Amino acid sequence: MKGRSIPYSPAELAWLETNRSMPIADYHRGFSVAFDREDVSAANLHALRKRKGWRTGRSGHFAKGQVPANKGKTMPYHPNSAATRFKPGERRGVAVKLYKPIGTERLSKEGYVERKIHDGLPLQSRWRAVHLIRWEEANGPLPAGQALKCLDGDRTNTDPNNWAEIPRALLPRLNGGRHKTRLAFDEASPELKPTILATAKLAHASRLARKGTA
């Protein structure tokens, strides 16, 4: 009972400690029958177990390998429940306003044009760079370890001829290096860009050659 201390006899406490691992409903029912204590609620006994620090052996979490009791069972049909269930592919509320159909194009935070290619999962795979789509349509899949570099500095120009296939390891060198000691490709004038790209490729090839002979 809330508001005052509930007395328990030594025999009652002994029974409660011995049977502390019982589910609370059975725990309360068994105690009430054994000692005729109608003045004690299940909440009282639950609080007593916590105060005494009596462990029930249950964490409230599924143990590894434990199978849920309702696994493989379908929810019984009820018209009120069925009326509120989501149908496959159904969208409601904010999702309806935010939905973009397949084929929609947008500009990414990095300035690349992206196109929605599917509605499935994972979410991050729904959008793909248009310049990459067009380049692969013209040249085939981009090999592993390779990347595309925009040649004219305009990332919205998705013409395949405006993108060059380069080793991904070359990108830091084109960005000016770790300490920005070189002129970055994107910051260079159109006249200097070919020279910077050729120099970076030569330095990269030289580095690979040295590693191969080391």
β-bridge partners, 201: none
Instruction: Write out the DSSP string of 26-72.
Output: HHHHHHHHHHT-TT--HHHHHHHHHHHT---S--SSPPTTPPPTTTT
Q: In what order do the strands lie in the sheet with 105-107?
A: 105-107, 113-116, 127-129
The model's pTM is 0.59
Consecutive 10-residue averages of pLDDT for the chain (214 residues): 79 93 91 91 92 82 78 81 75 87 96 96 94 98 96 96 96 84 92 94 90 66
User: Residue 1 has what pLDDT?
Assistant: 47
CB atoms within 10 A of CB 28: 19
Q: From CA 103, how far away is CA 112, in angstroms rounded?
A: 15
CA nearest to 130, candidates 146, 97, 154: 154
**Nearest Cα to 134, choosing from 119, 153, 118, 112?**
112
Residue among 142, 140, 134, 144 at smallest CA distance from 165: 142
User: Domain residue spans in the chain?
Assistant: 10-52, 100-213
Q: The tokens 């502390």 sit on which residue?
A: 20
CA distances from 183 to 187, 194, 202 (A): 7, 13, 16
